[in-house]
């Protein structure tokens, strides 16, 4: 348990938040994301994505749709020399899930399940790790999992008022100084 990781929310951090993004044509990389991930990788951080995918639970798109977009995303990072170590996603929703997707899961943020699973699989020390998210549920998940620095990126939807985040930033490049 001594590796360090940069945990990343997907929608609103890797790509622009547009509500239930599941098609390549709607997937728009955020300004600065390649630069931040290149720095993180060079500084020895594993790159782990943790994303709630309630759109699957709600029947808006399938797990296959998610995986094809995900593979495309990983390929775009690879082209830039960036290796995403793993993407964890939670397809469940506690009240709006259909069929098997109706489930109250600790893997759904604010639950810490995805982060804890990654820590176990990769031998990550949460205390040495960072998390970047755009919602309070991201921050809560990181705090519960014991992540050392939980960073909130302000957005048009959430200005961080009342946040428990350790740091609030206005653009992604502000993550770089925290990568040590």
How many chain residues bind Mg ion (CB under 5 A)? 4
Q: Where does 21-180 have alpha helices with state H?
A: 33-42, 54-57, 63-79, 113-122, 136-144
Residue from 12, 55, 112, 160 binding Mg ion (CB under 5 A): 12
Q: What string marks each residue from 127 to 146 as x (binds Mg ion by CB under 5 A) or -?
A: -------x------------
Name which position in 4, 6, 8, 9 contacts Mg ion (CB under 5 A): 9
Catalytic residue (choose from 11, 19, 65, 159)? 11
Stretch that binds Mg ion, among 8-16, 33-41, 141-149, 161-169 (CB under 5 A): 8-16
In the chain, DSSP assigns E strands to: 5-8, 46-52, 86-90, 130-133, 149-153, 167-169
19 is catalytic: no
Diameter of the chain by CA atoms?
44
Q: Of 6-14, 19-27, 55-63, 65-73, which segment contacts Mg ion by CB under 5 A?
A: 6-14
* Of residues 134 and 136, the one with the C-beta less far from Mg ion: 134
- 5, 11, 70, 151: residue in contact with Mg ion (rule CB under 5 A): 11
Residue nearest to Mg ion (CB): 12
Are 48 and 85 in contact, with CB atoms under 8 Å apart? yes
User: Which of 165, 142, 168 lies closest to 155, judged by CA?
Assistant: 168
Only segment of 3-11, 64-72, 98-106, 123-131 that touches Mg ion (CB under 5 A): 3-11
The answer to whether residues 20 and 60 touch, using CB atoms and an 8 Å cutoff, is yes
When the beta carbons of 52 and 116 are compared against Mg ion, the nearer one is 52
39 neighbors 176 (Cβ within 8 angstroms) = yes
Minimum distance of Mg ion from residue 137's CB (angstroms): 8
Q: What's the number of CA atoms in the CB half-sphere (13 Å) around residue 172? A: 25
**Dist CA 8 CA 74 (whole Å):** 14
Q: Does the annotation mark 11 as catalytic? A: yes
Would you tell me which residues interact with Mg ion (CB under 5 A)?
Answer: 9, 11-12, 134
Which residues are tagged catalytic?
Answer: 9, 11
């Amino acid at each position: 348990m001594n590796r360090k990781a940069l945990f990343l929310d997907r929608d609103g951090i890797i790509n622009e938040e547009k509500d239930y993004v599941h098609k390549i044509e709607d997937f728009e990389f955020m300004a600065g994301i390649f630069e931040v991930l290149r720095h993180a990788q060079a500084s020895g951080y594993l790159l782990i994505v943790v994303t709630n995918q309630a759109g699957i639970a709600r029947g808006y798109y399938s797990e296959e749709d998610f995986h094809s977009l995900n593979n495309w995303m990983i390929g775009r990072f690879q082209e830039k020399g960036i290796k995403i170590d793993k993407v964890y996603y939670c397809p469940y929703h506690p009240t709006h899930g259909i069929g098997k997707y109706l489930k109250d899961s600790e893997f759904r943020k604010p639950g810490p399940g995805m982060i804890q699973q990654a820590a176990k699989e990769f031998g990550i020390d949460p205390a040495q790790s960072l998390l970047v998210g755009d919602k309070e549920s991201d921050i809560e998940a990181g705090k519960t999992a014991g992540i050392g620095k939980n960073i909130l990126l302000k957005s048009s939807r959430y200005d961080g008022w009342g946040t428990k985040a350790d740091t609030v930033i206005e653009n992604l490049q502000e993550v770089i100084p925290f990568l040590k």
